[in-house]
């Protein structure tokens, strides 16, 4: 095994020459006769109590991965089913990241894992049931993000970007303290965009690698709590630790395009997701309510036969956030605003905020990550081991309707 030196006393250890994303296989069903990692240690049976450490969506929301005290599992969303699991005697994983539906995953061990410590990233080929690369660091890994061409490792004060083909270091980015491991990537092949906290409170740094351009956006007065990009990286949605406002920005020039309000009281925002056609935004928080908002960014050149995921919003360079007429337009569904909005020039901004278009209520005592399913549906995965699917009316909004509930993992933290 070759060990390559990397900055900050990190090491990269490929188990073979190169990794070729173009050759990745895909998962559609469990590997026959294999419920463990390929190590000689025995698999853990379902009779053992398994707790949930971590949940995350893949890049197109078709699957989600769960890190458990026993290993990791992957679930398909539509129809909902467990696709496969790998149970390890050595301990569980605190981070599990998928690359769409392929056989390559990034794994970070939980603190109790005796084989894989939390300061090491494992690049795992589940088809071969073996590790094909490792990254080791001085400090604990906070997050890992994957694209088909790069691997991004997030530490508390630094982000490393590696080439997926040969695991060589491409970029280093310094950030403000980032214990949540905030970072997001574009996933369209012809754009390469990364967004993360900047060096100042409330600032977001956007790297347009293809354009060799960095944009710093003053998004909030408080620390950044959550952020996400559209699939092409041209739009950025952010929330702060106050958790009351979500803002939408043009990542090319930093213009604020829209602002919506989750509520009045402080909340911890757990997730933000943008629909592939850039028509809707969904937000989850520790308050137990899933909010859906109608976006006013005009989508041009739409072709009914085209895949919604490749539609690109119009983004014209603006010198002022007050000049947005060319960028925003009325939607089929409109977020309700305050009845006092006609006085917005006199009253505080609170009175002219846009409120959510549709809502769904869940138990408050757990965290949920929300995303968009097919045909105006919202899917959520909770740290209590629950999965919900609900639908919203794209014209009238209001309370969403629950379509499906699955208890995918039994956990002691399940609300009673």
Predicted confidence (pLDDT) at residue 142 exceeds the cutoff of 90: yes
Token pair 């106050």 in the structure block, residue: 242
The pLDDT, as a whole number, for residue 102 is 84
| The two structure tokens encoding residue 173 | 């980015």
How buried is 148 (Cβ within 10 angstroms: 0-12 exposed, 13-18 middle, 19+ buried)? middle
Cα 63 to the center of its chain, rounded Å = 12
Q: Who wins on pLDDT, 50 or 16?
A: 50
334-352 burial code (b ≥16 CB/10 A, e <16): ebebbeeeeeeeeeeeeeb
- Other C-beta atoms closer than 10 Å to the C-beta of 95 total 25
| Rounded distance between C-alpha atoms, residue 347 and residue 292, angstroms | 26
Per-residue pLDDT tens for 221-234? 999 999 999 999 99
Q: How confident is the model at residue 336 (pLDDT cuts 50, 70, 90)?
A: low
Per-residue pLDDT tens for 144-192? 999 999 999 999 999 999 998 889 999 999 999 999 999 999 998 888 9
The pLDDT, as a whole number, for residue 334 is 58
The pLDDT, as a whole number, for residue 272 is 95
Per-residue pLDDT tens for 220-276? 999 999 999 999 999 999 999 998 899 999 999 999 998 998 878 888 899 999 998
Average pLDDT of the chain is: 78
**What is the chain's length?**
416
Contacts for 219-227 with beta carbons within 8 Å, 24 or more apart? Answer: 219/247, 219/249, 220/245, 220/247, 223/176, 223/197, 224/182, 224/197, 225/180, 225/182, 225/268, 225/269, 226/182, 226/269, 226/270, 226/271, 226/272, 227/182, 227/184, 227/195, 227/196, 227/272
DSSP strand E in 175-268: where?
184-185, 193-197, 203-208, 213-218, 224-229, 235-240, 245-250, 256-261
396: cis peptide before it, omega within 30°? no
What pTM does this model have?
Answer: 0.77
The pLDDT, as a whole number, for residue 298 is 57
């Amino acid at each position: 095994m070759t060990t390559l030196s990397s900055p900050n006393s990190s090491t990269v250890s490929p188990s073979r020459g190169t990794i070729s994303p173009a050759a990745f296989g895909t998962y559609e069903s469990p590997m026959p006769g294999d419920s463990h990692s390929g190590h000689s240690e025995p698999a853990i049976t379902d009779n053992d109590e398994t707790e949930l450490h971590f949940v995350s969506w893949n890049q197109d929301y078709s699957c989600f991965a769960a890190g458990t005290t026993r290993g990791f599992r992957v679930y398909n969303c539509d129809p909902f089913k467990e696709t496969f699991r790998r149970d390890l005697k050595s301990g569980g994983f605190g981070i599990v990241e998928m690359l769409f539906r392929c056989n390559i995953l990034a794994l970070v061990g939980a603190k109790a894992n005796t084989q894989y410590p939390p300061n090491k990233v494992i690049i795992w080929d589940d088809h071969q049931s073996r590790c094909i690369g490792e990254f080791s660091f001085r400090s604990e890994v906070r997050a890992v993000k994957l694209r088909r061409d790069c691997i991004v490792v997030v530490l508390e004060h630094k982000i490393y970007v590696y080439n997926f083909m040969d695991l060589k270091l491409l970029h280093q980015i310094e950030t403000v303290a980032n214990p949540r491991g905030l970072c997001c990537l574009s996933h369209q092949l012809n754009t390469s965009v990364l967004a993360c906290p900047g060096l100042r409170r409330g600032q977001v740094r956007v790297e347009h690698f293809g354009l060799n351009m960095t944009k710093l956006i003053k998004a909030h007065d408080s620390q950044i709590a959550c952020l996400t990009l559209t699939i092409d990286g041209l739009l950025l949605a952010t929330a702060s630790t106050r958790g009351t406002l979500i803002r939408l920005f043009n990542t090319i020039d930093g213009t604020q395009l829209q602002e919506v309000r989750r509520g009045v009281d402080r909340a911890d925002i757990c997730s933000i997701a943008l629909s592939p056609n850039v028509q809707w935004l969904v937000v989850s928080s520790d308050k137990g309510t899933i909010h859906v908002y109608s976006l006013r960014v005009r989508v041009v050149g739409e072709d009914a036969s085209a895949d919604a995921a490749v539609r690109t919003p119009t983004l014209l360079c603006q010198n002022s956030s007050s000049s947005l007429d060319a960028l925003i337009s009325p939607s089929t569904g409109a977020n309700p605003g305050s009845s006092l909005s006609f006085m917005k020039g006199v009253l505080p901004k609170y009175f002219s905020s846009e409120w959510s278009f549709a809502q769904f209520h869940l138990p408050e005592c757990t965290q949920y990550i929300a995303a968009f399913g097919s045909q105006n549906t919202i899917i959520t995965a909770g740290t209590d081991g629950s999965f919900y699917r609900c639908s919203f009316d794209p014209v009238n909004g209001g309370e969403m309707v629950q379509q499906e509930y699955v208890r995918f993992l039994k956990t002691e933290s399940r609300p009673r």
